[in-house]
Chain A
Amino acid sequence: MPYDPKMVQPMREELTRIGVQELLTPADVDAFMGQKTGTTLIVVNSVCGCAAGTARPGVRLALESDVKPDRVATVFAGQDLDAVAKVRGYFGQFPPSSPSMALFKDGQVVHFVPRHVIEGRDAVGVANHLVEAFQKHCVPAGAK
């Protein structure tokens, strides 16, 4: 049974207030993922402790980098069930995991961060891990 939406709202806003687009329905997901060109980060948010202490702060720090994805969106596991199922369909071979993050380039997953990788790091470690992937796959803002 999903958690109380009022309890979850601050967890959503931790990402949406830094400009991450929230995808609430399968239609939202398909519309967002329909744009294949460029780089996209999808964050699967969750209520668990490693999302609060590590994943969300790590995403926030990583998005302060000069090199970052063109677009960033999020779905909330255990809450927006249909949207999460839809987005996982875009993850291909990667098993469901929450929290998790997937970096897409031109519509293909080029880097995936499953929950157990997040568990092994603090927020700065997650940010560094993401920024490494951004530097490998994304175009610096000044070079666009």
Chain B
Amino acid sequence: MTGGDPLAPERAISVAGAPDGVRAVGPVDEGELTHLLQHASATSQKVAVWGGGTHRRIGYDEPPDLVVSTLGLAGIIDWEPDDLTVVVGAGTTVTDLEGELGTRQQSAVLAEWPGGGTVGGAVASATSGYRRLRYGPIRDRLLEVRAVTGDGRVVKGGARVVKSVTGYDLPRLYTGSLGSLGVITSVCLKLWPLTEAVATVRVDTPEAAGAVHRPLAVLETREGVTVLLAGTAAEVQAQLSALGGAHRSCLDYPPPPTGEVSWSIRVRPSLLTVAVSRLPPGSPFVAQHGVGEVTFATTNSFEISDLRSWAEESGGAVVRVAGEGSADPWGTPPSTLPLQRRVVAAFDPARVLEPGRLPGRI
């Protein structure tokens, strides 16, 4: 810890995309963050936690008094390739991390279209990527988390081993917490070896993917349905034979749909085809079959309420993931709101970190 003062005038930085006129700072270690957040708590300053700025549109948008960039917390801290784990600073971009891991034929299977997004942002926003059908959501791949709480306490949860039941599961609690429980400073992630062979196959229906055991992803867009395969050369060849159809020997990840606003529909997987049938005509979308998520883009005048009512009545949700709009970004908050509020207060008593951003405006 340097214990430097990131609030010193000469340390002011500019953060692309941050609101105009709001002070932005870039702490470089946990000591500086502690100092910064103690100060913010003492002076009741609302803090926005900013990585690559790629997930800012998730949740309610409360104007901050201070923008804290995590880009100064970048870099691989510990990587033992034979353990298939990596400890990485939260401000490391997904692209940089995956690039480095790729030099040893490994991957953290983070989102395939990360933009300038950071590893900390991927965890804080619970962004899992298309390959979660095989590798699970990001919350299942996070082994250890370190964070500085709203009142400046440095806390760690989990362990740097692939299997641990030592204490409460803070890594999962921090996953998707959107900065409200603390500024994540580093994480330990589980890695996977990149496979020998890959392929993308076009099929007629999502159900056709049932011919193969555990594909990497089954994705549907306006252009049709593809099954993504990965494994040994013989395995991929056998799966290609089972599926038939045209294929390419690469992983063809569709880009995220873009428009004035993007929504994520989350329902149990068997309802995905119904969800797709309810999308506004012509809107670009990516449906992750087997997972239960459809992301689609539309105009900000699109009325989300019918779709949302249907999803919520089916036990799911419709959540804004990008863009602008007047519609509520979360919909109905969870029934455990009072408990959620207590948990947030335990980590951020003065409620300075992303106040109001979570469902229920916690």
A binds B: no
